[in-house]
Amino acid sequence: MVSRKVLSIDSAITFVVVVLVLVPSVLLNPPKFKDTFKEKCSQFKEKEEICERAWVLFEQAYVGKDPKTVTPDNYKELFDEFPFTYPCEKTMLWSKTSDLVKLVGKECYFPIGRTLLGHVLDGLFWCGKENSPETFTDFSECTKPKINPYESFWTMAAIRYAQHACKEVKALLNGDVEDPYDTKSFLAESEVPYLDHTKVTKLDVILAVKTKGRPGCNDKSLKDLKSELRKKGIGYDCKEVFRAQLEKCKHEKSADEVCKCQELLKM
């Protein structure tokens, strides 16, 4: 006869074995890329057929192709069918301030991450392989070639985003790095060159700094930016704001409070 004590031990051992077997299997089976894409799309209150159409156009840009052959033009049809539609005067460019732009961009401005495609693809990595129907998500593999599906998507997104901008455009930059206006950034390569001088009157740079002391708005890279804009017939202004002040925006709850917080962004 087997005692209750033995049965309890056997049950515990069985439970542990099941947990040890099941947990790794769960970890090894993350959500499919398509499921993640469509779930994030639905967060925008889009209809199922809209999200499906976006997926089809997105997927055809890179699936079955050698990653290094996928250029920004591969995503042209996707952005033609899903153009930016937010109020163009609420454009907010940024560079090396991803943490801050999510705080100050909410409610009153539309950084690219607040747009449909920007929201869906933010934080994701992807690529295809020649003659394969699969989507692969390994960062190191997908971004190894200089030209790749990930870089090409964001290049086209940045170009179209900049082309959509109008009136006074904000740019939230990091004043604590060597070159706030980095010539190798998406901002310098794919946004500023595509600002339309017939629509954009001025670029207001909000320079986030931890403390005073660096060159700030007198930084050489920002002088180069000003010169580049002048050649395009676009005005320029710059204002230093303490990072700690901007970080307070995350504590604001209502839209009114957030917008008051964003008074910091006014020149």
Q: What is the 3-state secondary structure (H, E, C) of the chain?
A: CCCHHHHHHHHHHHHHHHHHHHHHHHHCCCCCHHHHHHHHHHCCCCCHHHHHHHHHHHHHCCCCCCHHHCCHHHHHHHHHHCCCCCCHHHEEEEECCHHHHHHHCCCCCECHHHCHHHHHHCCCCCECCCCCCCCECCHHHHCCCCCCHHHHHHHHHHHHHHHHCCEEEEEEEECCCCCCCCCCCHHHHHHHHHCCCCCEEEEEEEEEECCCCCCHHHCHHHHHHHHHHHHHCCEEEEEEEEHHHHHHHHHCCCHHHHHHHHHHHCC
How would you write the pLDDT of the chain (267 residues) with one tens digit per residue? 444 433 343 444 444 444 434 443 333 345 699 999 999 999 988 899 999 999 999 999 999 999 999 999 999 999 999 999 999 999 999 999 998 988 876 667 899 999 999 999 999 999 999 999 999 999 998 999 889 999 999 999 999 999 999 999 999 999 999 999 999 999 999 999 999 999 999 999 999 999 887 889 999 999 999 999 999 999 999 999 999 888 877 666 655 665 666 677 777
